[in-house]
Amino acid sequence: MTLLVAETLGIHFGGVQAVDDVSFAVETGRIFSIIGPNGAGKTTLFNLISGIYRPNTGRILLAGEDVTGLPPHRLAAKGIARTFQNLQVFYGMTVIENVMVGRHLREERRLVPAMLGLPSVTRQNRATRKKAHEILAFVGLDERIDEPAGALSYGDLRRLEIGRALALEPKLLLLDEPAAGCNPVETAELIGLVRNIAEQGVTIVLVEHDMRFVMQISDRVLVLDGGRMLAEGSPEAVRQNPEVVAAYLGRHGAREAGYARG
Amino acid sequence: MRALLSSRWTTLGLLCLVIAALPLVFPSGYYYRVAALVWISAIAAVGLNIFMGYAGQVSLGHAGFFGIGAYAVAIGPARFGLNSWLCIFLGVFLSAALAWLVGRPILRLRGHYLAIATLGLGFLIALVLANEARWTGGPDGTAVPRLTIAGARLMEPVTWYWISGGLLTLGTALALNLENSAVGRALRALHDSEIAAALAGIDVARHKLRAFVIAAVYASLAGSALALFDGFITPDAAGFLRSIELVAMVVVGGIGSTAGSIVGAGLLVTLPQILAVFVEYEQIALGLIIMVVMIFLRRGIVPSARRLIVRRAP
Amino acid sequence: MAEVLQFCFSGLTVGAVYALVALGFTIIYNASDVVNFAQGEFVMLGGMVTVALAAAGMPLPVAAVAAVGVAAVVGVALHRLAIEPARGASPVGLIIITIGASIFIRGIAQVVFDKQFHKLPAFSGDTPFAVLGATILPQSLWVLGGTAAIVVGLHVFFERTLIGKAVAATAANRLAARLAGINTTSMMTLSFALAGAIGAVAGILVTPITLTSYNVGTLLALKGFAAGMLGGIGNPLGAVLGGLMLGLIEAFGAGYLSSAYKDGIAFVVILVVLFAFPRGLIGKRSAERV
Ligand SMILES: Nc1ncnc2c1ncn2[C@@H]1O[C@H](COP(=O)(O)OP(=O)(O)OP(=O)(O)O)[C@@H](O)[C@H]1O
Ligand SMILES: [Mg+2]
């Protein structure tokens, strides 16, 4: 079954065509990666899918339903969750509260019971906290749950964002460069974590510069360059696509091209 | 230690204790009056803290809602013969309705733009109160009919000490409950990152509006209480300086901390009273205090103190 | 027709003062990101210090220059004693500090001077000129001319002088300016001095028309802030246009709608504008990046 379909998506900022005529489909339960040089439009594509920007052209279908132009909180309710390349952590809250926020849609949100502190609210707080604790254990952060989020290391903050996104129990999880700034050990752990998430049936779209990461884990890979699609296919096919190799060699330095060839 | 200090029961327990114990050390009746004024301001500050501290927004015109509450209990009974109790609720309703209507467009703004828009709103409310002299008595103010319970008129400072103290306790309890709920977490989340909050499923615009309306309701109630207590009200109650005073209470006490808002109110209300001996120097002292606290206790009094205690504790 | 012209004259005169206050706001905001609510106090100081010194027997021009100096020094003190030590505080915290400063300055003024209204003699007499059936006071011409001179002078300062360019560089990009060897803290202090001086000039020019007292600063600060917002905060040209526009709208509003609500017009306008253009009339439009 197809979970996410992007049809001829495009958006421009002033003169910059950040995403240009991009179409792809992601099957349920798969890991779909988007790669491309800096400024290729990967984050912008995420911003389109998660409703932060409204596309100038094209549409987005989620499980067959047209969700183009819905605001982010409505998309979240439809099962889209994401993390951010530039961390968007709630620094004024504790680690576990960050994840508890992710449970927002599963909670009673009426004002009067909340202000009265009714027993149902207390019960719900307890349940939310328990669930958040489980999620933190799943992402490997359950030792420092009551510390301020700012006390975590960079790699842990990335896990925290993943935890917060998982708290939503999403159908589709968008991860924007989850391994950025992580050391090799952390990256290896992260690969395991992403696999675990996928095994639970969550569909994952991943933006990542670390080619080893991408090639190891992805079911399909989309290559963007200058906002346009360069190639789309299995990791194998993409790796051998001469255009991709040329693009990487020509414009993006030998290092990543080396990774791309394996 | 940290858990104990940040528990809502600690805040609430301390507040009850202070309200109950203060009269034991009051040397004269005058102190009931000052304390009642503190409780009343603190009600407005606790509400404003929900908007500014929890949700991270800013309102430089919040005294406008205070003024609406105050004039509701002045105008309603005197000009329309309405019951004062009913007028308290009318004031709350008016304030909430206005906040809801104006909040929708205003709360799209951020930072300095939000500051000037709220400032403008408060300024306009105060201006209407000063100009519509037929109803409001104009710049010189108007008398406020006293509240009665079972035929008894409530005007003694002691009475108001207990009424406002009780109201503050209730308001504090509600604010602390809110902080510790899905809605409170949503407010604190959008404070830090609106985008991340929205993607966690939070309807950011709706929650900002909720915080604004709640803060308006608290301010309106406080305004009604002040008017009924003083028996007299002027448009200054809604003016810019009053708005700034409210913001200063929240910020000086420690933005985001409900206990801080109460401490801030205590400081900003009592200091001018203490300094009243040197009437001439009151403004100098007020300005100085605001600057000094903001420069040296940047987080505000209560969070700074809390950190100190946590660090000292074994 | 004559009436329209009359409103234009009075609107532009008041608008010029708003423009100068907004300009002071903008200079400080650009250099240090601080929204300075004490800006109106500079205007008050300009008027009050001149009045006091003139009353003490100083010739008016000397008193005026001294008043500008006093306001500049107060500006420097504001930066060095209140803003600089609070470096890194939240924007709201900084706003509160400047409001504290304005209450403080007002308090001092009330003690040093008094609570009365004061007037200065008009610089070139009180005989109005007739222009197409309307009249304009010579002092209005002083206000408009003074404002124009300041705007031109600032332009030359920022574009042509080395130190002006250093201030402009600090405003444009603090880090880059520091890397280029500019002492950005000094440049910020200079901006505060400049804003103080400009405010004082406005106060001196307008006092013969509007009178002054220890507490004229607050309302001027609010309207100057509104004018700056109208023009898009941080934009000097916008500040001047916003000020003049606000003055005109106020004059016509007071004339044709309601003089009792004259002081509210600025805020009605600002609310309407912000509802339509959430970033000011000339403000930049950019989406948030994540
Ligand atoms: N809000 C915006 N306003 C203006 N331009 C934008 C905006 N968002 C993105 N762009 C532009 O769109 C292009 C694509 O940016 P994007 O952040 O999507 O790249 P990316 O592929 O995520 O790069 P990186 O690997 O560095 O994260 C860039 O040229 C960027 O400057
Ligand atoms: Mg990116």
Q: Domains of chain B: which residue ranges?
A: 2-312
B109-124: b (≥16 Cβ within 10 Å) or e = beebbbbbbbbbbbbb
Q: What is the pLDDT of residue C134?
A: 86
Q: How would you classify the pairing of strands B142-143 and B232-233?
A: antiparallel
Whether the CB of A252 sits within 6 Å of ligand 1: no
SS3 C259: coil
Report the separation in Å between the CA atom of A231 and the middle of ligand 1, taken as the mean of its atom positions.
Answer: 20
Closest CA to B122 of B7, B236, B21, B37: B236
Interface of A with C (CB under 8 A): 13, 43, 47, 52-53, 84-86, 88
Which tops the pLDDT comparison, B66 or C257? B66
- CA B120 to CA B240: how far, in whole Å? 9
A133, amino acid identity: H
What does pTM read for this prediction?
0.92
pLDDT band at residue C286 under the 50/70/90 scheme: very low
DSSP secondary structure code for residue B155 in this structure:
-
Q: Domains of chain A: which residue ranges?
A: 1-79+170-262, 89-169
Taking CA–CA distances from B131, the nearest residue in chain C reads C260
Taking CA–CA distances from A148, the nearest residue in chain B reads B2
| Nearest residue by C-alpha to atom 10 in ligand 1 | A18
Q: What is the pLDDT of residue A262?
A: 46
C118-152: b (≥16 Cβ within 10 Å) or e = bebebbeeeeeeeeeebbbbebbebbbebbeebbe
pLDDT tens digit sequence for C209-238: 999 999 899 899 989 988 988 887 788 889
Q: How many CB atoms lie within 10 A of CB C57?
A: 7
> In the 3-class helix/strand/coil scheme, how is C128-140 assigned residue by residue?
CEEECCEEECHHH
Q: What is the pLDDT of residue B63?
A: 97
Strand order in the sheet with A16-27: A16-27, A2-13, A57-62, A65-66
Q: What is the mean pLDDT of chain C?
A: 90
Report the separation in Å between the CA atom of A185 and the middle of ligand 1, taken as the mean of its atom positions.
Answer: 29
**Could you say which of A43, A53, A88 has the minimum Cβ distance to residue C287?**
A53
Q: Which two tokens stand for residue C216?
A: 């004229």
Whether the CB of A10 sits within 6 Å of ligand 1: no
Closest CA to A174 of A49, A24, A36: A49
**Class assignment of domain B2-312?**
mainly alpha
- Which chains neighbour C (Cβ–Cβ under 8 Å, 3 or more pairs)? A, B
**Which atom of ligand 1 has the smallest separation from the CA of A45?**
18
DSSP conformation letters of chain A: -EEEEEEEEEEEETTEEEEEEEEEEEETT-EEEEE-STTSSHHHHHHHHTTSS--SEEEEEETTEE-TT--HHHHHHTTEEE--SS----TTSBHHHHHHHTTGGGS---HHHHHHT-HHHHHHHHHHHHHHHHHHHHHT-TTSTTSBGGGS-HHHHHHHHHHHHHHT--SEEEEESTTTT--HHHHHHHHHHHHHHHHTT-EEEEE-S-HHHHHHH-SEEEEEETTEEEEEE-HHHHHH-HHHHHHHHHHH-HHHHHHHH-
Report the separation in Å between the CA atom of A41 and the middle of ligand 1, taken as the mean of its atom positions.
Answer: 5
Report the separation in Å between the CA atom of A21 and the middle of ligand 2, taken as the mean of its atom positions.
Answer: 18
Q: How would you classify the pairing of strands A172-176 and A80-82?
A: parallel
Q: Which two tokens stand for residue C168?
A: 């402009």
Taking CA–CA distances from B189, the nearest residue in chain A reads A90
pLDDT tens digit sequence for C155-178: 999 888 988 888 888 888 888 988
B73, amino acid identity: V
Look at chain A and count its residues.
Answer: 262
Q: Which two tokens stand for residue A58?
A: 């094209």
Ion ligand 2: residues, CB within 5 A, are A 42-43, 85
- CA B32 to CA B157: how far, in whole Å? 6
Identify whether the C-beta of residue C195 lies closer than 8 Å to the C-beta of residue C75.
Answer: yes
Q: Residues with Cβ < 8 Å from C272, sequence gap 6 or more?
A: none
- CA A19 to CA C145: how far, in whole Å? 52
Taking CA–CA distances from C100, the nearest residue in chain B reads B287
Whether the CB of A56 sits within 6 Å of ligand 1: no
- Which residue is listed with tokens 């197409």? C132
Q: What is the pLDDT of residue A258?
A: 53
| Minimum distance, in Å, between the CA of residue B219 and any CA atom of chain C | 20
A74-110: b (≥16 Cβ within 10 Å) or e = ebbebbbbbbbbebbbbebbbbbbbbbbbbbbbbebe
Q: What is the pLDDT of residue A19?
A: 95
pLDDT band at residue C285 under the 50/70/90 scheme: very low
Ligand 1 pocket test: pick from A9, A34, A38, A44 the residue with the most ligand atoms within 8 Å of its Cβ. A44
Report the separation in Å between the CA atom of B82 and the middle of ligand 2, taken as the mean of its atom positions.
Answer: 62
Whether the CB of A226 sits within 6 Å of ligand 1: no
**Could you say which of C101, C229, C275 has the minimum Cβ distance to residue B116?**
C229
Residues of chain B with pLDDT > 70, as a percent, come to 97
Q: Domains of chain C: which residue ranges?
A: 2-276
C256, amino acid identity: Y
- CA A95 to CA A113: how far, in whole Å? 25
Q: What is the pLDDT of residue B2?
A: 60
**Class assignment of domain C2-276?**
mainly alpha
Whether the CB of A159 sits within 6 Å of ligand 1: no
Mean pLDDT on C35-42: 94
Q: Does A77 touch chain B (CB under 8 A)?
A: yes
Backbone φ, ψ for residue A51 (5° rounding): 85, 5
Q: Residues with Cβ < 8 Å from C56, sequence gap 6 or more?
A: none
Whether the CB of A38 sits within 6 Å of ligand 1: yes
Mean pLDDT on C249-270: 88
Whether the CB of A95 sits within 6 Å of ligand 1: no
Question: CATH homologous superfamily for A1-79+170-262?
Answer: P-loop containing nucleotide triphosphate hydrolases (3.40.50.300)
pLDDT tens digit sequence for B68-120: 999 999 999 988 989 999 999 999 999 999 999 999 999 988 888 898 899 99
Weakly modelled stretches of chain B, pLDDT under 70: 1-6, 276, 313-314
Inter-chain residue contact B295 with C263, CB threshold 8 Å:
no
| Nearest residue by C-alpha to atom 16 in ligand 1 | A41
**Could you say which of A71, A115, A164 has the minimum Cβ distance to residue B177?**
A115
- CA A205 to CA A261: how far, in whole Å? 22
- Crossing angle between the packed helical segments C2-32 and C162-172, to the nearest 10 degrees: 80
- CA A36 to CA A42: how far, in whole Å? 7
Weakly modelled stretches of chain A, pLDDT under 50: 254, 262
Identify whether the C-beta of residue A99 lies closer than 8 Å to the C-beta of residue A163.
Answer: yes
Q: What is the pLDDT of residue A2?
A: 92
Pick from A206-215, C72-81, C267-276 the range whose average pLDDT is largest.
C72-81
